[in-house]
Amino acid sequence: MNAASEMAAFDRLPAAVRARLAASRFDFKAVTIAADRRAHRLSVAETVAFIGEMEAWAADAEKSADCGDGNRLTPAKPPRVDEMVERIRNSY
């Protein structure tokens, strides 16, 4: 994935989703968010909530991550996207 395709994916996202991604302290890829949005047929509001769920996962993962070479962290567990989507859908 190059920078141009990542920027194009960001530009195709709805404004509210772009704003939420831009406000995040984590570097979530627009391509990945767009793919999850399509795969789970998330509305704009659900996608914004999904980014919040991903932030919570990332903050927890940061606490329990394994230190690798250099300054990179490796999460102990991958995000459970299906569970996040289910939680979001149950809250609406």
Q: Give pTM, 2 decimals.
A: 0.84
Q: Are 65 and 75 in contact (CB under 8 A)?
A: yes
Can you give the residue ranges of every domain in the chain? 3-91
Q: Are 35 and 60 in contact (CB under 8 A)?
A: no
Q: Which two tokens stand for residue 58?
A: 């990332």
CB atoms under 10 Å from CB of 84, counted, come to 19
- Classify burial at 49, counting beta carbons within 10 Å of its beta carbon; exposed 0-12, middle 13-18, buried 19 or more: buried
Question: Running DSSP on this structure, what letter comes out for residue 71?
Answer: T
- pLDDT tens per residue, range 13-50: 999 999 999 999 998 999 999 999 999 999 999 999 99
